């Protein structure tokens, strides 16, 4: 039985008006699912996202990163990889003033996503060979920002999950370098320990600055972190630098 809150239970009110510190009844739920549900119900970011009309708590990770590193300001076109349920796409549509008649955001996920004004959504695996062209066709011009919050579905085997998500990050980075406008930015989810060395070297060759970030909205106990590559040098510039290195 769930215990009623006592004066010692840390019940706080959230901006969404619901109480925090809630317990979930021991029912048919597995203990791990119950713990997840309790954490979800008591998460102030979840409640805030409902109050603010966002589709995910992940929105605050992007907003916090942007507040510190200013990656969205002035962006004219954005690509959102691993977009469902659509929180980052909501922000992207807002900052680009995207509308259905003049869309400035293209998003992809293999899961369904409810339509969002100003977002051209493609339901497809990003690892499908056809995905890059579909995204560019949907966007109708080079993006200033490529975002990837993609995480591989968990298998329960942490090393496998880690490798799969790192691979997604790597493919996203190569896509970003193929399509970004010079001066553009790339933000992607990675795991603790950060991007692999080869990927970091690749990003440093192509961007003016590369840092790892862990925004406050990313749970401290989660191994998740983000790699942020700012100031794409442009394909021509990188070719010139490579030629100079060889010469």
Ligand X SMILES: C[S@@+](CC[C@H](N)C(=O)[O-])C[C@H]1O[C@@H](n2cnc3c(N)ncnc32)[C@H](O)[C@@H]1O
* Residues that are catalytic: 189
Whole-number Cα distances in Å, 2 to 6, 30, 46: 12, 15, 21
Nearest CB to ligand X, comparing residues 150 and 176: 150
Choosing from 37, 151, 200, 223, the residue that interacts with ligand X (CB under 6 A) is 151
Angle between helices 87-95 and 59-69 (to 10 degrees): 40
56 is a site residue for ligand X (CB under 6 A): yes
149 binds ligand X (CB under 6 A): yes
210-to-20, 80, 213 alpha-carbon distances in Å:
37, 19, 10
Is residue 42 within 8 Å of residue 20, measured between CB atoms? yes
Among 55, 77, 104, 185, interactor with ligand X by CB under 6 A: 55
| Count of beta carbons in the 10 Å neighbourhood of residue 11 | 13
Report, in Å, the least distance between residue 159 CB and ligand X: 18
Among 45, 47, 58, 65, binds ligand X (CB under 6 A): 58
Structure tokens at 141: 């011009």
Using CB under 6 A as the binding rule, whether residue 138 contacts ligand X is answered as no
A 10 A CB-CB count for 7 gives: 5
Which residues in 117-132 are b (16+ Cβ under 10 Å) and which e? ebbbbbeeebeeeebb
Using the rule CB under 6 A, is 84 a contact of ligand X? yes
**CB of residue 82 to ligand X, shortest distance in Å:** 3
Residue 89-128 contact track with ligand X, rule CB under 6 A, x = bound: -------------------xxxx-------------xxx-
Q: Judged by CB under 6 A, which of 24, 37, 142, 152 binds ligand X? A: 152
How many angstroms separate the CA atoms of 83 and 86, rounded?
Answer: 5
Nearer to ligand X, 58 or 210 (CB): 58
How far, in Å, CA of 126 to CA of 41, rounded?
31
188 in contact with ligand X (CB under 6 A): no
The answer to whether 211 contacts ligand X (rule: CB under 6 A) is: no
Could you tell me the two tokens for 108?
């992809």
**Interface pick for ligand X out of 16, 44, 85, 183 (rule CB under 6 A):** 85
Write down the least CB distance from residue 163 to ligand X, Å: 13
Contact set with ligand X (CB under 6 A) = 55-56, 58-59, 82-88, 108-111, 125-127, 149-152, 168
């Amino acid at each position: 039985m769930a215990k009623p809150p006592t004066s010692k239970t840390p019940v706080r009110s959230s901006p969404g008006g619901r109480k925090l510190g809630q317990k979930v009844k021991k029912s048919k739920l597995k203990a791990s699912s119950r713990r997840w549900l309790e954490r979800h119900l008591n998460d102030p970011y979840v409640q805030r996202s409902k109050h603010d009309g966002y589709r995910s708590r992940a929105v605050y990770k992007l907003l916090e990163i942007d507040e510190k590193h200013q990656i969205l300001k002035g962006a004219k076109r954005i690509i959102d990889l691993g977009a469902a349920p659509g929180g980052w796409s909501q922000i992207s549509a807002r900052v680009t003033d995207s509308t259905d008649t003049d869309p400035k955001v293209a998003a992809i996920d293999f899961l369904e996503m409810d339509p969002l004004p100003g977002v051209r959504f493609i339901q497809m695996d990003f690892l499908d060979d056809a995905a890059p062209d579909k995204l560019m066709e949907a966007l109708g011009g080079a993006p200033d920002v490529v975002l990837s919050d993609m995480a591989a579905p968990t298998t329960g085997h942490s090393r496998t999950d880690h490798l799969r998500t790192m691979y997604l990050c790597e493919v996203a980075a190569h896509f970003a370098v193929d399509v970004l406008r010079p001066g553009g930015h790339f933000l992607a989810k990675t795991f603790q320990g950060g991007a692999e060395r080869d990927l970091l070297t690749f990003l440093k060759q192509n961007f003016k600055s590369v840092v790892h970030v862990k925004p406050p909205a990313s749970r401290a106990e989660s191994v998740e972190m983000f790699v942020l590559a700012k100031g794409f040098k442009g394909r021509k510039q990188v070719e010139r630098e490579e030629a100079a290195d060889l010469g």
